[in-house]
Amino acid sequence: MNVLETRDAVRLRQVSAVEIARNALDRVASSNPDLNAFVQVFHEGALEQARAIDARLAAGESVGPLAGVPIALKDNIALAWGRTTCASRILENYSSPFTATSAQRLIDAGAIIIGKTNLDEFAMGSSTTHSIFGPTRNPYARDHVVGGSSGGSACAVASGIVPGALGSDTGGSIRQPAGFCNIVGFKPSYGLVSRYGLVAYASSLDQIGPFAQTVADAALVTSVMAGVDPLDSTSADAPAPDLLDGLDRPVTDLVIGVPRQARSSANHPAVAAALEAAIGVYRRAGAEIIDVDLPHASHGIAAYYLIATAEASSNLARFDGVRYGRRAELRPGEDLMALYCRSRAEGFGEEVRRRIMLGTHALSAGYADAYYLTALKVRRLIARDFQRAFDGHGGSPACHALLMPSSPSPAWKIGEKAADPVSEYLEDVYTVGVNLAGLPGLTMPGGFAEGPPALPVGVQLVGPAMRDAQLLRIARMFEQATGHAGVRPRA
């Protein structure tokens, strides 16, 4: 069952929350040795939460909108129990003293937290292979990546272990793995969901969002999490929207823009075909399809990998083995600086070290103007390109949303890009601009590449800032017209 079906079955007492939790835990036990989606499982805690929900229902008390729904959390979202490791050696034994606002709001709504999921270390990667726990495997093809960095959460939903999960999206880390796993992945507008308790990678880009089987499920989970949070100064000072309200009402006089840059010759044939098929679906639904131009999109990868790594260099400076994290053994005659250096060298993986060094260089004296400040100027231009498309520019009508791929290719084989990190970075070409502009973006199942193996292909919608409800309605129109989401992986 999906999120809404599970919630309704528990509310109507057709099935107990304890039965739902036990089934999810059984699925973890049977599937996880093969998939490696979960890095921690909260057996007793999940059952305790479920018993409390059943007791409230038996007493005739009201329960929350997610009562009895098993949810998994990416392991960079803090919980006041278990560990919050970020899939890194430096935090392998870290226990958070508090719970992230997003997770607490789910718990308050009755969700059952089943466990923590695997990720690229500190959310730095597009494959969920850069992890001290090893790679997560794609449920559609075990020798292929699941996408990243929120790959464990995507895998947990796609394989049917849980109906919903949380990830974080800094440059595509929800939308890209959702596309690789044939599920819905939603990155809300920056500021709609609190970042408090999310271990920071790049603070001006990070956003928490859901994975789900349907657009309606993603809307419900986001609605529960959304709203101003006094603990997060970047959260939008606005009431939490009810994203389910009017979700099934089609957008009238719909205008969909297709960026010229999205029809790149570098796209895999299956990606190009999925985009054209999606255009056809919206045309048949009565939408006007227009070409739009995002002239600075080609600079998105460069700008993103300067801004994100610069912020990562600053954010990860706290993990020095003294105040936070794993500390190396102090050697005779060694000074404090040597201890810092060895603790960080031993604690951080290769990809994290690479990004810290890149970001530190971009911020260093004599280079900050040439690299970091230039990237910030490009960021502004990229945001302006999106805004012109949404406002209408040069005589073109205003777009309600833009349609593009979520990745230029389907999932690749595990290890295929290990020797060439830049080739993995380029897989984010259609997602990073959305984060740079702070916009909502959603990936939905768009079809399959010819096999074997028959790998999923996602298509992505991007909307104006804080128009998340409208974007979800547009995605719902596509979902109702296609059957891609119903194709589940074989056991």
Active site residues: 74, 149, 173
Backbone angles phi, psi at 480, to 5 degrees: -70, -20
Listed residue (365, 251, 378, 245) closest to 307, CA to CA: 378
* 51 phi, psi to nearest 5 deg: -60, -40
Q: Which residues contact 44 (CB under 8 A, 6 or more apart)?
A: none
> CA-to-CA distance for 75 and 120, rounded, in angstroms?
10
Of 117, 110, 136, 119, nearest in space to 21 by CA: 110
Distance separating alpha carbons of residues 227 and 220, to the nearest angstrom: 13
Dist. CA 12–CA 20, nearest whole Å:
13
Mention every residue, 6+ apart, whose C-beta is less than 8 A from residue 294.
Answer: 259, 260, 261, 382, 385, 386, 389, 433
Name which of 446, 478, 458, 485 is nearest 283 in CA terms.
478
Q: Which of 307, 364, 319, 323 is CA-nearest to residue 345?
A: 319
Please report how many Cα atoms fall inside a 13 Å half-sphere around the Cα of residue 193, on the Cβ side.
34
φ and ψ of 172, to 5 deg: 130, 10
- What number of CA atoms fall less than 13 Å from residue 315's CA on the CB side? 20
CB 439 within 8 A of CB 205: no
Q: Alpha helix locations (H) across 418-483?
A: 421-425, 432-437, 468-481
Nearest-CA neighbor of 44 among 114, 94, 99? 114
